[in-house]
Structure 1
Amino acid sequence: MAPTGEQHLLSTEILNRGVETSGPDAGSMAFSVRVRRRLPDFLQSVKLKYVKLGYHYLINHGIYLAAVPVVVLVFGAEVGRFIREELWQKLWDTTAAYDLLAVLTFVVVFIFTLSLYFFSSPRSIYLIDFACFKPDDDLKVTKEEFIELARKSGKFDEASLEFQKKILESSGIGDETYVPKAIMSTENISTMKEGREEASMMMFGALDELFEKTGIQPNDVGVLVVNCSVFNPTPSLSAMIINHYKMRGNILSFNLGGMGCSAGIIAVDLANDMLQANMNSVAVVVSTEMVAYNWYPGRDRSMLIPNCFFRMGCSALLLSNRRRDYRRAKYKLEHIVRTHKGANDASFRSVYQEEDDQRFKGLKIRKDLVEIGGDAIKTNITTLGPLVLPFSEQLLFFSTLIKRYLSGTTKDKGGVTNPRNSSPASSSKPYIPDYKLAFEHFCIHAASKTVVNELQRNLGLSDANMEASRATLHRFGNTSSSSIWYELAYLEAKGRVKRGDRVWQLTFGSGFKCNSAVWKSVRHVEKPSTNNPWLDCIDRYPSEALSQSSQVHPVNFN
């Protein structure tokens, strides 16, 4: 979602309380803001069609692989039969010609089947390395400085400043996040010039680091994918990169706009498709968002929330389908599962860019965003489950799901689960699979403290599993589609990624969309000594602030 837009599953409702009858504000309109602090228990109702969809993915990806053991077994049995009949003695008999022809025929079929599998199966896609942009320290602000700078800009009244202050206090964001200097200017900052300057600083900073780390020359890049939700100039951001680095003229370039915080995985999926179609190629994926260009200077409180959460950030990663890159790659792409709820009108308008009554542009967050986001996440992880969960977990999940289905558990019109009978089985909850058995590391989009806490509760994850998400939110804020790469950089800075480890990246954003990417480490990732955004502060995490962030307290802002 756009930096201003994914204000993430933090549902805000503005209530008109009428006219104040007393106090210093007597005679003026009074409003209260109610912030919903919990995601729904989205694993309490699972639709079988999404489980079925997950197995559809599995069958599509494994059909050729499943044929290989069958061919091997048949071939082994045939060879065994010939050995038992003393094949070598029969080669000189009158029937030897027939037996030899049968063997040669089977060998040809076996080789053909293997060739069909290797040429038809998807190419392995490797993540050679990635880089996360770290702004200069002069762009760093504390929460108090943020409010003071907003006050000095003259764009907000006291009520709006107080509202933003209360949001920041419960946001999970620390005092070292980065914002462009332009956002506190008294002038209009939503200009193309300001947007291009911020984009150049972040994209070129991340790409310079990526090219330095990998040794790849810009002219060697065959595919370029850039995603930025709200800021989409002409020429495009991808064209800016091609012009700056003087890339080759036949590069396949793509620019994704308006796709929200989940666009990072969408960009990886597009690069994956391009690499499947183009042999011996490398692809660069850049994920970012422009904070200044998306800044909202008005008074609509549902549009002010993005100002509080989004901060500067950009990631750049290098993907390759070349077999020789396996030795130096860090990760191999295992799965990508995408879920889009845009066909539903409520989902489509849950985060909506529009103008307020003062004609200020901003992202409107609807009050039902919590339920919409929970449904999209539930659908995505239900589809992903059959691809990644051990058989034991799938068996337990299905047994309790079928038991609950046969017991006749239904939902009334209000969405409350009611059994048709009073037996304990009818009200039992479905078994929640243990995703810790499928993954060693979790990079869940650092949208807000509320979202991180509620996903932890729903998925049954530990504080250690959510540490990277909480640390990223605290240190860098919500950096939109690039946040999952700051989280993976955190895990690498801690030296926790070992050979064979599986990493789950989960993102969600406007549309409404939820996407998952699964990576497998192909080697032990050493602690970085340079070119990592966490090097100057990694020893301070996990901190006491993260422990406090794991506690959820419902809040009403009046």
Structure 2
Amino acid sequence: MELSNMPIHHRLQLLIFSLLSSAVLLHATHPIAAAILRFLTTNLLLNAIISLLTTILIFLHFRLRSHPVFLLNYSCFQPPNHRKCTYQLANDFVLHGGRFTTPEPVKFMRNIYLKSGLGNDTYAPPFMFEKDQTPTMKNAVQEAEEGIFSSVDSVLAKTLILPEEIDVVIVTGGSFSPSPSLASLIVNRYNLRPDVKTYNLSGMGCSSGVISIDLAYRILRGGGRKIKNVLVVVTESITLNWYDGEERSMLVTNCIFRVGCAAAIITNDPSRRSTAKMELQHCLRTHHGADDSAYHAAFQEEDGKGITGVSLTKDLIRVAGLNLRQHIKILAPRVLSLNQLVGYVCSVVSSVMSGGQMKPVVPDFTMAFEHICVHTGGKAVIEQVARVLKFNDSVTEPARMCLNRFGNTSSSLVFYELAYFEAKNRVKKGDKMWMLAFGTGFKVGSLVWKWVNDPETELDNPWNDSIGQYPLKIW
């Protein structure tokens, strides 16, 4: 039996036995050790106090130590080929049935689409392929079910986790929140235990994938051995989010959001380390909603004609850059090497002493991580992250290629980007990976992973049918 799997009283007995054995050996071989041992054995009260304190410290060490949290495996949903959203399909859709009374919205969306960085292989929701192309609640549920059932079936098969072994279910769907919830949909579909704990997150934006993993991490760290396996489902249904109005800030979402879903098994079971992909080492979430400009940067509301849409303001990119700088001030001390951290702190002090005339040096995060998943929210967002963190094209390549192949899949985007690294055979045991995502509100989230095993070839990697074409020279 491994030491980590021993009951605590067995571990204490083993430790006490080891200490006594060592003392006896030292007593026989070293005069100083013999004198100390005689002193302790002849001072019973002191000996009892030391033994009690030692026992308490050992107990607290094993009781309060953090449990490692692993990504056992994950799966990304890949819709069938007949659901691909080509430029021609998108163009025909906006012209269908007189959706727009004037040509200006159509012209605007065409320009946005052509500059968006999206290719012809992204996926559209099912209703766009029906005859009348009218989004309904039934269509929205269909979109959610297809992605959820496909990805969950796959991740359960890959991890060999049975439904009855799932202790917690976390589902995130940013703007689609039906009743019963999507978490209840999963409990019903997979006949999960009555005592399973479920969490259904909504309204958290594109950062909710990172947020849901952070929640799983905190539950597993605090749940001891009673909770071992968390099923995380990261999805979105864009069917009911199509905007038929004419406000330009709201039309952008029609051009960049696409179908996507991912499922993952997160565990604290130490016996699964040998089959896990990565260990989650750090989580960081910062919320900047106290600032009005950050709060309203991406906002769901009605336009002047009462049509509901999500407005992406011109201030969004500035807000993303500003709040990213605030975020990395907290993240940097956790991940940077000592020499990097000293240089960064000195630059911050110099900036304060100069009254802001000297700007703090941006740490080189490529020295702390072998791989970085940059938020794939759109071309302008990726470029802003690159400017703030001084990333070159090789660092943002996975994000740009993910945007081209799958579009903005909202909360699941970091998993499609993770799959790109695996499909390209770029990761190996010991590598560190940083996942960075933004969300409405305005939120910034980071996950820091370390690969604990070399990845195996995944038959259901969504890049398998196209990875040979990438990277493309598209920007």
TM over 0.5: yes
> Residue in 2 aligned with 1:21?
none
> Residue in 1 aligned with 2:82?
138
Equivalent residue for 2:32, pick from 80, 86, 100? 86
Q: Does 1:206 align with 2:135?
A: no
Deviations 1:10-68 (A, max 9, x none): xxxxxxxxxxxxxxxxxxxxxxxxxxxxxxxxxxxxxxxxxxxxxxxxxxxxxxxxxxx
Equivalent residue for 1:378, pick from 325, 328, 332? 325
Deviations 1:428-451 (A, max 9, x none): 432211101111111111011121
Cα offset for 1:398? 1.4
CA contact (8 A) 2:169 2:232 kept: yes
Alpha-carbon distance in 1 for matches of 2:311, 2:387: 27
> Residue in 1 aligned with 2:122?
177
Other structure's SS at 1:498 match: coil
Other structure's SS at 1:86 match: helix
Q: How does 1:390-405 map to 2 (within 5 A)?
A: 390-405=337-352
Cα offset for 1:111? 4.7
> Residue in 1 aligned with 2:104?
159
Alpha-carbon distance in 1 for matches of 2:126, 2:69: 39
Q: Read off the aligned partner of 1:175 and give its amino acid letter.
A: N
Equivalent residue for 1:531, pick from 450, 460, 466? 460
Alpha-carbon distance in 2 for matches of 1:481, 1:516: 13
Deviations 1:487-520 (A, max 9, x none): 0011011111111111101110110111111111
Q: Read off the aligned partner of 2:423 and give its amino acid letter.
A: A
Cα offset for 1:153? 4.1
Deviations 1:459-499 (A, max 9, x none): 12232221211111010000001000000011011111111
Other structure's SS at 2:393 match: coil
CA contact (8 A) 2:119 2:404 kept: yes
Q: Read off the aligned partner of 1:450 and give its amino acid letter.
A: A
> Residue in 2 aligned with 1:54?
none
Moved more, 265-274 or 99-108: 99-108
Moved more, 173-182 or 347-356: 347-356
Equivalent residue for 1:506, pick from 412, 436, 461? 436
Moved more, 221-230 or 107-116: 107-116
Alpha-carbon distance in 1 for matches of 2:416, 2:275: 21
> Residue in 1 aligned with 2:220?
275
Other structure's SS at 1:517 match: strand
Moved more, 216-225 or 147-156: 147-156
Deviations 1:365-408 (A, max 9, x none): 233222222222111111110000001111111112212322x3
Alpha-carbon distance in 1 for matches of 2:62, 2:134: 53
Greater percentage in helix: 2
> Residue in 1 aligned with 2:286?
339
Cα offset for 1:186? 7.8
> Residue in 1 aligned with 2:275?
328
Equivalent residue for 1:521, pick from 451, 455, 459? 451
CA contact (8 A) 2:70 2:278 kept: yes
Gaps of 5+ in 1: 1-74, 411-426, 550-558
> Residue in 2 aligned with 1:440?
370
Gaps of 5+ in 2: 1-18
Other structure's SS at 1:364 match: strand
Q: Does 1:463 align with 2:393?
A: yes
Alpha-carbon distance in 2 for matches of 1:405, 1:358: 48
Cα offset for 1:84? 6.1
Q: Read off the aligned partner of 1:359 and give its amino acid letter.
A: G
Moved more, 315-324 or 176-185: 176-185
C-alpha RMSD of matched pairs (Å): 2.4
> Residue in 1 aligned with 2:410?
480
> Residue in 1 aligned with 2:6?
none
Deviations 1:187-208 (A, max 9, x none): 5844321211111111111111
> Residue in 2 aligned with 1:247?
192
Paired residues, what number? 450
Against the structure 1 CA distance between its residues 309 and 505, is the aligned structure 2 distance closer, same or farther, given a 3 Å change threshold? same
Alpha-carbon distance in 2 for matches of 1:189, 1:535: 32
Alpha-carbon distance in 2 for matches of 1:188, 1:135: 18
Q: How does 1:192-271 map to 2 (within 5 A)?
A: 192-271=137-216
Deviations 1:335-384 (A, max 9, x none): 11111112223322222211223322111223322222222211111111
Against the structure 1 CA distance between its residues 96 and 521, is the aligned structure 2 distance closer, same or farther, given a 3 Å change threshold? closer
Cα offset for 1:124? 1.2
Equivalent residue for 1:302, pick from 242, 245, 249? 249
Alpha-carbon distance in 1 for matches of 2:435, 2:51: 43
TM-score where L is the length of structure 1: 0.76
Q: Does 1:543 align with 2:450?
A: no
CA contact (8 A) 2:262 2:415 kept: yes
Against the structure 1 CA distance between its residues 360 and 402, is the aligned structure 2 distance closer, same or farther, given a 3 Å change threshold? same
Other structure's SS at 2:299 match: strand
Alpha-carbon distance in 2 for matches of 1:487, 1:96: 61
Against the structure 1 CA distance between its residues 357 and 404, is the aligned structure 2 distance closer, same or farther, given a 3 Å change threshold? closer
Alpha-carbon distance in 1 for matches of 2:245, 2:171: 30
CA contact (8 A) 1:128 1:325 kept: yes
Alpha-carbon distance in 1 for matches of 2:76, 2:323: 28
Other structure's SS at 2:264 match: strand
Cα offset for 1:155? 0.7
> Residue in 2 aligned with 1:313?
260
Against the structure 1 CA distance between its residues 189 and 258, is the aligned structure 2 distance closer, same or farther, given a 3 Å change threshold? farther
Against the structure 1 CA distance between its residues 464 and 527, is the aligned structure 2 distance closer, same or farther, given a 3 Å change threshold? farther
Q: Read off the aligned partner of 2:113 and give its amino acid letter.
A: L
More RCO (CA 8 Å, sep 6+)? 1
